[in-house]
Amino acid sequence: MTRALKLLSALPIGISLSVAAAVPALATQGGTDQLISQASLSGSYLAGRFAGKQRDNAIAALYFQRALEVDPGNPVLIERAFVLDLGAGNMKRAELLAEQVAKFNPQHRMARIVLGLKAFREKNYKTARDHFSKAAFTPVGELTSGLLNAWVLAAEGKFPESMRALDVLDKQEAFVNFKLFHAALIADLLRSETGASGRYRTAYEKAGSSLRVVQAYGNFLERQGNKDEARKVYGQFLAVSQRNPLVREQLDQLNAGRQPRPFIGSANEGAAEALFSLASALSDEQSIDIALVYAQLALMLKPDFAVARTLLGEIYEDIQRHDLAIEVYEKVKETSVLRASAEIQIATNLDALGKSDQAIEELRKLVEREPGNYDAQLSLGNVLRSHEKWTEAAEAYTNAIAALGSSFGKKQWSLLYFRGISYERAGAWEKAEADFRKALEFEPEQPQVLNYLGYSLIDKGRNLSEALEMVKKAVELRPNDGYIVDSLGWAYYKLGDYEESVKQLERAVELRPEDPVINDHFGDALWRVGRRLEAKFQWQHAKDNKPEPKDLANIERKINEGLGDLPKAPPAASGDNQRKL
């Protein structure tokens, strides 16, 4: 390590970040290339580290590339640049760096996997297996190595050897389904129909809820002429996941009499499937960065792999990189059955970036093109509702219900709930109440619906006894939900039981001390029981917690003047997305 990097490594984290924090701000002004080309070694290192922490892998990789130009043999820079290029999908550069990483760290798992995949694509199968074998020194490494080595052997036409390569997965019980599924795929590819049939059947028995197992097994059954059994496999999956476009497409094509192509057409596709399997399994918070890399590698082997592309988009969403998620979803082909889902996700991510008008426009285009697309209508309703376009949201939800047709039922209680909220906010209470009550017919103990309906009835002075029982039941079901406890406290306030109101609202504040409206509610209740100094303290606390501008003036008035003789209903709790959405 150079002296400069030794000094940088010793810097306190706060100093490193404060130095680097200015770089992305400058980079957004259009001078990224110039900034990077002019950066010093230390500046590039710090900026790259900061961008990496923000998961802006592409920018981080560019800064480390600049640092390597200044100090080309530094192993710290080489390894960081390799990992960042890999995460950014810069595969050619990652392959070059992987060779250097492997020289100073022969057991670097990702370097060995990248080099193995490069050799695999170039049909240097022995070299590929050597690299993969050297990556097998952790449980994840053994799983990756076992799957990829099996697919290399499949590429060589060595069926018994590929099955033996999968035996390494027997060390971990959690790897059983991986072994079964990929053994079936390899047997299918190598035309071992008897071996494939038994393995597919066992994989399906153990993991029949897996999308890819269902797709592959159904595809195999079709090609074997067992179409009725294939329909059964697809039908059982769709009974749970009714609108899955991939399985729906396979069933539709089967019913139309079309002969499917093999699920896996080559060993390269099989290796891509293995990497996709791993990325899907690893996409939890702790291992999401590895999942990101595996998804990128799957797409390197199979660029038109729409399911892997969708997974990559979901990973970017999970790490709050909505801009990159949009870029990924835009690359899903127009002809893909997943294109409509990708467009929905594009709109969702636009909304997350604050581009709500554009998001709504994109969804409106989609529902105009596909009026029967339930997911598009539902997503449009959700975006409109989140931006308080209540009447339009209710209309979108109505269209979503129409799109479901005869399949509308118990599972759609939340759709009625959302439409009920939209109707209530739009001033159409009778329609709202009907939706809430229908939702409760489907789900009698749904705390969100009980809370919203009960609170609304109390607020309107209707069916007070029934309404109070609803809110009590909601609290019983969700005792630690501060917003629902607040509803109960405010219900008692509206009913004039101020002592009980104080008791409930004090607990609500304990559960949600940061919510300005719950504090405001608590202050009102305290005032009514004569605890006026404490009431003013709670109102001040509500003010300090940044209430909505429309609520601030009322809170300030109460701090200065207290409450009048008659209570005035404050607004619903600002964070209560379960009551006043």
Q: Dump strand ranges (E) for 54-113.
A: none
Element (H, E) at 291: helix 288-301
pLDDT in tens, 163-192: 999 999 998 899 999 999 999 999 999 988
Percentage of the residues of the chain whose pLDDT score is greater than 90: 71
pLDDT given at position 1: 38
Residue 76's pLDDT band (cuts 50, 70, 90): confident
pLDDT in tens, 529-561: 999 999 999 999 999 999 988 899 999 999 999
Is 1-105's fold the same as 452-561's? yes
> What is the average pLDDT value for the chain, to the nearest integer?
86
Q: What are phi and psi of 455, to 5 degrees?
A: -60, -45
Q: Is the dihedral of CA 129, 306, 177, 253 positive or negative?
A: negative
Residue 580 has pLDDT above 80, yes or no: no
530: left (phi over 0), alpha (psi -120 to 50) or beta: left
Token readout for 334 is 């127009």
Average pLDDT over residues 251-279: 96
pLDDT given at position 283: 67
CA distance 50 to 62: 12
SS3 36: helix
pLDDT given at position 151: 98
191: left (phi over 0), alpha (psi -120 to 50) or beta: left
Who contacts 508 (Cβ-Cβ below 8 Å, separation ≥6)? Answer: 482, 483, 485, 486, 489, 518, 521, 522
Residue 316 has pLDDT above 80, yes or no: yes
- Lowest average pLDDT, out of 14-18, 203-207, 356-360, 443-447, goes to 14-18
Average pLDDT over residues 472-478: 96
172: left (phi over 0), alpha (psi -120 to 50) or beta: beta
Residue 437 has pLDDT above 50, yes or no: yes
Q: What is the pTM of this model?
A: 0.82
Q: How far is residue 23 from each of residues 42, 51, 59, measured CA to CA in Å?
A: 13, 9, 10
CA distance 440 to 323: 39
Average pLDDT over residues 389-401: 97
Instruction: Evaluate whether 519 touches 545 at the Cβ level (below 8 Å).
Output: yes
pLDDT given at position 22: 32
Average pLDDT over residues 515-524: 95
Please state, as a whole number, how many other Cβ atoms lie within 10 Å of the Cβ of residue 466: 12
Residue 401 has pLDDT above 90, yes or no: yes
Distance of CA 104 to the CA centre of its chain: 37
Helix axes 532-544, 516-528, angle to 10 degrees: 170
Which H, E and C letters describe 536-573, residue by residue?
HHHHHHHHHCCCCHHHHHHHHHHHHHCCCCCCCCCCCC
Distance of CA 129 to the CA centre of its chain: 34
Residue 324's pLDDT band (cuts 50, 70, 90): very high
CA distance 256 to 252: 6
Closest by alpha carbon to 11, among 34, 40, 45? 45
Helix axes 176-189, 267-281, angle to 10 degrees: 160
Residue 409 has pLDDT above 60, yes or no: yes
Residue 351 has pLDDT above 80, yes or no: yes
Residue 146's pLDDT band (cuts 50, 70, 90): very high
pLDDT given at position 262: 96
Residue 61 has pLDDT above 80, yes or no: no
H-state helical runs in 208-287: 211-223, 227-240, 245-255, 267-281
SS3 522: helix
The amino acid present at 58, given as its one-letter code, is A
Q: Is 398 exposed, middle or buried (0-12, 13-18, 19+ CB in 10 A)?
A: middle
Domain ranges of the chain: 1-105, 452-561
Dihedral angle of Cα 395, 396, 397, 402, to the nearest 10 degrees: 90
pLDDT in tens, 361-388: 999 999 999 999 999 999 999 999 999 9
Residue 87 has pLDDT above 90, yes or no: no
pLDDT given at position 300: 95
Instruction: Evaluate whether 520 touches 563 at the Cβ level (below 8 Å).
Output: no
The amino acid present at 16, given as its one-letter code, is S
Instruction: Evaluate whether 420 touches 450 at the Cβ level (below 8 Å).
Output: no
- Long-range contacts of residues 470-477, Cβ cutoff 8 Å, at least 24 apart: 473/445, 473/447, 474/447, 474/448, 474/450, 477/445, 477/447, 477/450
Instruction: Evaluate whether 333 touches 304 at the Cβ level (below 8 Å).
Output: yes
- Lowest average pLDDT, out of 61-75, 269-283, 464-478, goes to 61-75
Would you identify the CATH topology of the domain 1-105? 1.25.40
More confident residue, 503 or 568: 503
pLDDT in tens, 205-222: 999 899 999 999 999 999
**Numbers of helices and strands, H then E, in the chain:** 34, 0
Who contacts 257 (Cβ-Cβ below 8 Å, separation ≥6)? Answer: none
Closest by alpha carbon to 502, among 145, 414, 510, 186? 510
Residue 36's pLDDT band (cuts 50, 70, 90): very low
pLDDT given at position 459: 85
Helix axes 41-53, 75-88, angle to 10 degrees: 40
Token readout for 547 is 């209430």
pLDDT given at position 205: 95
Would you identify the CATH topology of the domain 452-561? 1.25.40
The conformation of residue 105, written as its DSSP 8-state character, comes to: -
CA distance 514 to 496: 26
CA distance 80 to 100: 12
Element (H, E) at 162: helix 159-165
